[in-house]
Amino acid sequence: NAGVTQTPKFQVLKTGQSMTLQCAQDMNHNSMYWYRQDPGMGLRLIYYSASEGTTDKGEVPNGYNVSRLNKREFSLRLESAAPSQTSVYFCASPQGRATEAFFGQGTRLTVV
Amino acid sequence: EDQVTQSPEALRLQEGESSSLNCSYTVSGLRGLFWYRQDPGKGPEFLFTLYSAGEEKEKERLKATLTKKESFLHITAPKPEDSATYLCAVQGYGGSQGNLIFGKGTKLSVKP
pLDDT surpassing 80 at residue B95: no
Cα–Cα distance measured from residue B86 to residue A19, given in angstroms and rounded to the nearest whole number: 31
The pLDDT of residue A69 is 87
Distances (CA, A) of B57 to B53, B61, B64, B77, B96: 12, 11, 5, 17, 26
Minimum-distance CB partner of B103 among A42, A56, A104: A42
The pLDDT of residue B100 is 87
Confidence at B98, pLDDT banded by 50, 70, 90: low
Minimum-distance CB partner of B91 among A48, A59, A98: A98
Per DSSP, the three-state class of B96 is: helix
pLDDT surpassing 90 at residue A96: no
A33 touches B at CB < 8 Å: yes
- The arithmetic mean of pLDDT across residues A77-85, rounded, is 97
A69: left (phi over 0), alpha (psi -120 to 50) or beta: alpha
Phi, psi of B98 (to 5 degrees): 75, 15
State the average pLDDT for chain B.
94
Share of chain A above pLDDT 70, in %: 99
Cα–Cα distance measured from residue A44 to residue B97, given in angstroms and rounded to the nearest whole number: 13
Q: Tell me the shortest Cα–Cα distance from A42 to chain B, in angstroms.
A: 4
Q: Do A33 and B32 touch (CB under 8 A)?
A: no
The pLDDT of residue A85 is 98
Q: What is the pLDDT of residues A22-61, one digit of tens each?
A: 999 999 999 999 999 998 888 999 999 999 999 999 999 9
Q: Do B43 and A4 touch (CB under 8 A)?
A: yes
Closest CA to A23 of A9, A10, A37, A4: A4
CA-only gyration radius of chain A, Å: 13
Confidence at B96, pLDDT banded by 50, 70, 90: low
Q: Tell me the shortest Cα–Cα distance from B60 to chain A, in angstroms.
A: 19
Distances (CA, A) of A77 to A9, A103, B13, B56, B95: 15, 19, 41, 40, 26
A51 touches B at CB < 8 Å: no
The pLDDT of residue B21 is 98
Chain A residues within an 8 Å CB radius of B34:
100-101
Cα–Cα distance measured from residue A19 to residue A29, given in angstroms and rounded to the nearest whole number: 25
The pLDDT of residue B97 is 59
The pLDDT of residue A2 is 73
The pLDDT of residue B1 is 80
Cβ-Cβ contacts under 8 Å for A61 (sequence gap 6 or more): A46, A47
CA-only gyration radius of chain B, Å: 14
Chain B residues within an 8 Å CB radius of A33:
99-100
pLDDT surpassing 60 at residue A92: yes
pLDDT surpassing 80 at residue B78: yes
Strands (E), chain B: 3-7, 10-14, 19-26, 30-38, 45-50, 56-59, 62-66, 70-75, 84-92, 100-102, 106-111
Chain A residues within an 8 Å CB radius of B104:
40-42
Confidence at B35, pLDDT banded by 50, 70, 90: very high
- The arithmetic mean of pLDDT across residues B42-64, rounded, is 96
Q: Would you give the DSSP letter of residue B42?
A: S
Query: Chain B residue closest to A105 (CA)?
Result: B43
Confidence at B92, pLDDT banded by 50, 70, 90: confident
Minimum-distance CB partner of A104 among B41, B43, B99: B43
The pLDDT of residue B79 is 98
Share of chain B above pLDDT 90, in %: 86
B77: left (phi over 0), alpha (psi -120 to 50) or beta: left
